[in-house]
Amino acid sequence: MTIQNDKNRIIELRELLNQYNYEYYVLDKPTVEDYQYDQLMNELIQLEEIHPELVTPDSPSQRVGGAPLDAFVKVEHQTPMLSLGNAFNETDLRDFDRRIRQEVGDQFSYVCELKIDGLAVSLRYEKGMFVLGATRGDGTIGEDITNNLKTIRSIPLKLKDELDLEVRGEAFMPKQSFEKLNAAREENGEELFANPRNAAAGSLRQLDPKIAAKRNLDVFLYSIGDIQGKTLDSHSDGLDFLEEIGFKTNPERRRCANIEEVLQYIEGWVDKRPSLPYEIDGIVIKVDLYEHQEQLGFTAKSPRWAIAYKFPAEEVVTKLIDIELSVGRTGVVTPTAILEPVRVAGTTVKRASLHNEDLIREKDIKIGDQVVIKKAGDIIPEVVNVLADKRTGAEQSFEMPKECPECGSDLVRLEEEVALRCINPKCPAQIREGLIHFVSRNAMNIDGLGEKVITQLFKEDLIHDVADIYQLQREELLKLERMGEKSVDNLLAAIETSKNNSLERLIFGLGIRLVGSKAAKTLAQHFETMEKLQGATVEDLTAIFEIGEKMANSIVEYFSLPQVSQLIDELKSYGVNLEYKGPKLVNAAEIDSVFAGKTIVLTGKLEQLSRNDAKKEIEALGGKVTGSVSKKTDLVIAGEDAGSKLDKANELGIEVWDEARLVRELQS
């Protein structure tokens, strides 16, 4: 009988504490004193310690932080978390508005929201329970930070309804929490965080959730990525619904009938921005109706129906002490201004890129000048202009060198380029920068091989090219500074894992001039093996959509080098994959399939296939899988608990299959 009484009390305490959490952290209207809350929490923790079998993931006691992790697990987003395009002035916004009108006409509205300066996160709920929280990462793959996100009390562990949904938001550190954190770090002699955004990101990437729990983070939810069993027509409806089921959204949003109202909203917040208890760096403008969003679609990187207006950058004056030169992986020599340290947009700036010799001449920059500095997009420091009237006569003109500052080779300026370039393939700076690029996130993505470790390995003569990475030995790594046994084992495991990457990552990692990550994916899809790509002619390459003549010549020139052929042979001998592993490129017109040329939407839970596997198989048969139902949709595959997408398909008279029909057609 006592056990049952304790169980009933635990349930009662959880309901009370969850309600008090919601009132305090979401509504900002506390109904009990802190000491009463603490007493109830302590009682719950004591009862759960007596009855550990009664502890559940949604218990308020689980917010204090669990056991430390060894590393973050990577997770794939069900719907990509794309970044937004930027607008910096009224002209940019009116251009955006014009493009929207050209596509959907004049009968539409916008929703304006404050752009919170924090860390984008995704939250997944199953039957109303919080099961996964992740960072944006590269938009497709993020990191599982569920335990850290559980420490944010404005994130509900259990919703009011038993829904399956994924929501997106911005985790941030309030100004007051940031000031307290830095005051404590200063007292302890620790390095201070530059701004609240860095502090929030650093807190959520702690392997020990107990550290995150002490940082007093918060969150605003700003969109629904996916939802089952609920029909919503607009973004504003979605935000209202998130509030109804227990999420915290930003109350300062406004629905605007036209671009003039958008501009008025922005103007109002330029002055009110400092009064907020959290940092913002702009305003997000979205087309409201989901139907219009579907019609407008996406580019490869961002939605066409949304844009982020960035506030004008703060400008400050400081002294340009010197100009340093650095050599990049493609041999470009870049001048950098060395500045007297100055605070700009929340961080201390000591350096700013000067880009090239022409810019230095155009702005008449001299060493010793008083210069105006700003951060482009509140991120990248740049020199705006020189205060020529402040000159004393002691300033010195700057001339770019004729020789590479790293290897002494002659610098050249290639046709139609403004940059000076070192073309010595054995230049140590180019090799080092190429190695750093090879291991980076969008290339081979080798955790533990950051810039400092690469520089150390290069300095110790352990690596000379990218193939040497796959010959590193445990014993020689253990001799390096700050490389313990655990770090070395994790690094070697990451190197081994990278051997299985799909071909496009290797192509991008090789650093072929003019070939970015998107072009690398296109090349990998088209040629499928490194051997076929190596043998491609300029004509073969320019026949591919999106591959121009300049890029084609660069690719052919790169693979004609004997040292490149030798490098690829070495990588192959070390077990590095040289084949494309993604979905094959298909020509719908050449495929005899019921899916060929059709636009298809998957909704609900599939029992026999994962949604990703179903998508891959459909695309391999010439179909195109999209995330939302519209008049352009040809077919909807509805699993269990299919919700709003199925309802909309029925409204529009779109053909609907169940999973059994899908499996039969895939196997036929």
Provide the residue type at 65 as one letter: G
Q: How far is CA 199 from CA 178, 190, 317, in A?
A: 7, 13, 26
Provide the residue type at 318 as one letter: T
What is residue 63's DSSP assignment? G
CA distance 443 to 501: 9
Q: Which H or E run includes 376?
A: strand 370-376
What is residue 77's DSSP assignment? -
| Integer-rounded Cα radius of gyration of the chain | 28
- The number of beta carbons lying within 10 Å of the beta carbon of residue 129 is 17
Q: How far is CA 443 from CA 141, 238, 499, 517, in A?
A: 13, 36, 12, 8
DSSP 234-281: BHHHHHHHHHHTT----TT-EEESSHHHHHHHHHHHHHHGGGSSS-EE
- Evaluate the CA torsion angle 357, 360, 365, 367 in order and state its sign: negative
Please pick, among 115, 615, 645, 648, the residue that the annotation labels catalytic: 115
Q: Give the residue ranges of DSSP H helices in 121-205.
A: 146-149, 175-187, 196-204
CA distance 607 to 639: 8
User: Two tokens at 417?
Assistant: 């380029």
- Evaluate the CA torsion angle 358, 363, 364, 369 in order and state its sign: negative
Spatial CA neighbour of 319 closest among 349, 360, 296:
349
Spatial CA neighbour of 628 closest among 654, 606, 657, 664:
654
Active site residue 363: no
Active centre residues (catalytic):
115
